Structure 1
Amino acid sequence: MKTTIIAAALLAVTVGSAFAAPETYTLDSSHSQIVFSYNHLGFSTGYGMFSGFAGDIVYDADAPANSTVSVSMPLKSMLTGWQERFDHFMSADFFAATDDETITFISTGIEVTGENTAIITGDLTLNDVTKSVALDAKLNQAGNHPMANQPWLGFDATTTLLRTDYNLGLFEPFVSNEVDVKISIEAMKAQ
């Protein structure tokens, strides 16, 4: 009887330690970016990028569907490669941007689709409009960062947005309504 109780206690400790609690990770702004592209009049592909993110990932390694993502970035962190294009995007023709305007994404659900893939659904707020979007996401790596010597995560994701959904449809259909979005982020375990 005593052996059974000791064995049960050891099993409880082992099982309890085998299941890790969800952990919070903070985005590494210096290694996270969003690249977007659109067709310009059928002649070329226009590109832009956002950086300067802030946000957190609550990552549940044992039950990834229970994880959450919350990200924001300043609208004016947009890079276009040409000042006049940036100025036009920030004008009343498109964003009528204020200095403190942000873009936010808050996850509402995660559907695990493979060993390291998932569809992350969430609310994207852009240009004062909130719409549900789905990100096709992949966990690139979870492990100890070789230089920072702390737990780290890396993800890539893609989605397609419609400009008209966010009241940004000027010049459509000549400039494509569809905007392809590629996301790559790193996040460090919160201290």
Structure 2
Amino acid sequence: MKTLIASAALAAATLTTPAFATSTDYVLDASHSQIVFSYEHLGYSTTYGMFSGFEGQIAFDQENPAASSVNVSFPVRAMLTGWEARFDHFMSGDFFAAAEDEMVTFTSTSIEVTGDETALITGDLTLNGVTKAVVLDAKLNQVGDHPMEGKPWAGFDATTTLLRSDFEVGAFAPFVSDEVEIMISIEAMQAE
């Protein structure tokens, strides 16, 4: 769930970046990119988790932003839950049964520019061994020279909603909501 979110945000950002003379490659700033997910627990609370520290690439086509692309991947076990017992349960057979090297990936397949700073990014999300198309509703926050790094930087936010059951991690639904809300916020720097 988390990986999709992060990938979607990156793809969205590439769509709204100002045109350059040639295609420009960006890499995610792992220290300032997060995917936050939330779900309802038994009607009593909203529970949150996060992925952070992941890597990804964005290729921006200056002549045709809709031809841009984004790729992101990270280990399922990079999930942060704030409570070790919850993390252990998510990694158990009830949910992911995740191996140490199991990855979440997102690869964009199309980008529909919807405004000066917005886009819908469609891509293939692979989670728990299942690949499904997801759409990220993305917004460009800012593009410009980073005040401390002295090179081009870009920031994006994106949202989407996933169904856990689509990825075969739907245990305890509907008591624990099948729908998972995803919020992605990323920063990306121009590649060297």
TM-score of the two chains, using structure 1 as the length reference:
0.89
For residue 117 of structure 2, what is the amino acid of its counterpart?
A: N
- Aligned residue number for residue 151 of structure 1: 152
Query: Structure 1: which 4+ aligned runs deviate by more than 6 Å?
Result: none
2:159 aligned with 1:162, yes or no? no
Contact map agreement 1:51 1:73 (CA 8 A) in 2: no
In 1, the alpha carbon distance for the partners of 2:57 and 2:116 equals 22
Q: Calculate percent identity across the aligned residue pairs.
A: 68
Give the number of aligned pairs: 174
Equivalence map 1:47-86=2 (5 Å) = 47-86=48-87
For residue 86 of structure 1, what is the amino acid of its counterpart?
A: F
Give the gaps of 5 or more residues in structure 1.
1-17
2:119 aligned with 1:118, yes or no? yes
Contact map agreement 1:52 1:74 (CA 8 A) in 2: no
Deviation at 1:62, TM superposition (A): 4.3
Contact map agreement 1:121 1:135 (CA 8 A) in 2: yes
TM-score of the two chains, using structure 2 as the length reference:
0.88
RMSD: 1.1
Q: Secondary structure at the match of 2:109?
A: strand
For residue 170 of structure 1, what is the amino acid of its counterpart?
A: A
Structure of higher CA gyration radius? 1
- Aligned residue number for residue 179 of structure 1: 180
Q: Secondary structure at the match of 1:93?
A: coil
Q: Which is further off, 158-167 or 53-62?
A: 53-62
Q: Secondary structure at the match of 1:171?
A: coil
Give the gaps of 5 or more residues in structure 2.
1-18
Contact map agreement 1:35 1:48 (CA 8 A) in 2: yes
- Aligned residue number for residue 35 of structure 1: 36
Q: Secondary structure at the match of 2:111?
A: strand
Deviation at 1:124, TM superposition (A): 0.2
- Aligned residue number for residue 189 of structure 1: 190
Deviation at 1:63, TM superposition (A): 2.5
Q: Secondary structure at the match of 2:89?
A: helix
**Could you say which structure has the greater relative contact order, defined with CA pairs below 8 angstroms and 6 or more residues apart?**
2
